[in-house]
Chain A
């Protein structure tokens, strides 16, 4: 029997999870939670490319989610674009912005990069909060319907709203994971991981460090942007919270909790941190407390993240 590659295995596991779990859903509400997990998983897959592969940190990625989300609110009304094209526009704007912002700040390392990206995220959420005339300010703004569900219905595929978003976000996550996994194996991915190991060593073997970091930053920004768009379209409403500092922190925490080095691990982290507040509504009060605690504990005791540590235990290897 041919051995399954890690890439196919990951994608198979994901596809199976997305297809099979609905059979265990006691009510339609769970489709919504599932969709939320997939969207978060998509955004966090972008963090895997940036942090897990390339070893660079961003504390402002929610800014890109905000741009993607608000593109879906603004482009249809102001530019007359179809909402699905607004997703593309948001991704393009995010990519261009990531390129422009990334060029100066990705020369920075560690702390400086963290603060610069943090500042970027705060700037975006400041604009969304302050430009009331355009964005509706802190109260948020309505987002038009995607309209795809109606098209599917005409084709004879009738889905509830929850089911539709569950599968759409699931497919988006599959595509995102597939791209990230392909990137991992490509020469670019190998160069990124070399950069993670030692930037100087990577440079001496001829890796264009600056360009690579910028690529990883732009790609991960597009992931966050598309995820933001999907949240906005699904809720048909969006507030500046999506671009807030806490959302950036959530993304990073999801990635490191599950294991930023692997796509599946990060998606697992997204699942855990999305389910936690849903499962324990009492926890809402303690959300920040728990988030902060998780960040510290995982980084101190399980630096590779939850899933890789569990898998190692299961395999029983001491590596």
Chain B
């Protein structure tokens, strides 16, 4: 039982990171129908920039803030320089563009930083907390709390603010939103900034546990996508639930089946979801009009 609890804790911790990545996918997808494959790189950048700034002598909170702001700015740059000029391009082109952005950011991280694996100290110490015979790192609580807070913040933003409603309106119908005077280009920019910032935050929170390196992005992207899809693409609630579920499935696979093949769990989930439940847990069934 305590063994199960232990797997549960580690699953919920990584699941929280995947949930944040999945939320990032959802925000951009809703605003622009683009799936941004560079989403995982934002997580990597959050961790790497924080490590770099911290190693350069800045206090950790300041380093983290710089990382989040810088990554958000990079997200905006990707939108302005690569996504907006390609508006109306076929999906295959958009996929190649965002994968290109992802490969580019990896290459840049290799040059600007290095190819080593890095970490920085946990925010509130390393003394594990004992719960029911299992232990949990204080940093895990930071990650889980961070994911829930971001979700709550997004919910308030989308339901209670004019700007948030403008984003929702754009995702519903771009043209109609433009007609009522919503600046949809600004909404796109905002979405990229938000989702890059959230990705970077995930990287900042998770690095003391999962470690970071220039090439960790693709793993986060794959699992975040699996989470977003499991929950139902475009649904924030689904992204949260899906992310946590993917984390749990992965941890239980590692614990009870095979730790070398835990990475395969996300892929298997993707296939099963697509096969049996293409609209995901929370998604509505949609019909494409021609």
A residues bordering B, Cβ < 8 Å? 51, 55-57, 59, 104-105, 107-112, 114-116, 118-120, 122-123, 126, 130, 200, 245-246, 249, 252-253, 256, 285-296, 299-300, 303
Contacts and interface: CB of A to CB of B under 8 A. Distances in A.
Given A51-B92, A59-B99, A112 B85 contact: no
B267 A288 contact: no
A116 B271 contact: yes
A118 B103 contact: no
Contact of B108 (A56, A249, A289): A289
A47 to B, nearest CB: 11
A299 B93 contact: yes
Residue of A107, A123, A286, A299 contacting most chain B CB atoms (<10 Å): A299
B104 A119 contact: no
A53 B89 CA distance: 17
A133 to B, nearest CB: 13
Given A104-B274, A109-B91, A303-B93, A296 B82 contact: yes
B86 A299 contact: yes
**Top 7 A-B pairs, shortest CB-CB distance:** A292-B104, A295-B100, A288-B107, A289-B107, A119-B267, A292-B103, A110-B91
B89 to A, nearest CB: 7
Interface in B220-265: 222, 225-226, 229, 260-261, 263-264
Interface string B87-101: 001111111110111
B106 interface: yes
- Chain B binding surface, main DSSP class: helix
Contact of B86 (A111, A118, A294, A300): A300
A59 B85 CA distance: 23
Interface of B: 35, 37, 82, 85-86, 89-97, 99-108, 110-111, 218, 222, 225-226, 229, 260-261, 263-264, 266-267, 270-271, 274-275, 290
B107 A299 contact: no
A245 B229 CA distance: 21
A268 to B, nearest CB: 17
Contacts of A299: 86, 89, 93-94, 96-97, 100
A290 B111 CA distance: 12
Nearest to A121: B267
B89 A303 contact: yes
A57 B95 contact: yes
A116 B102 CA distance: 17
Contact of A292 (B101, B263, B271): B101
A110 B95 contact: yes
A13 to B, nearest CB: 26
A200 B288 CA distance: 10
A291 B105 CA distance: 11
Given A292-B103, A293-B100, A293-B104, A114 B95 contact: yes
Nearest to A256: B96
A288 B91 contact: no
B106 A110 contact: no
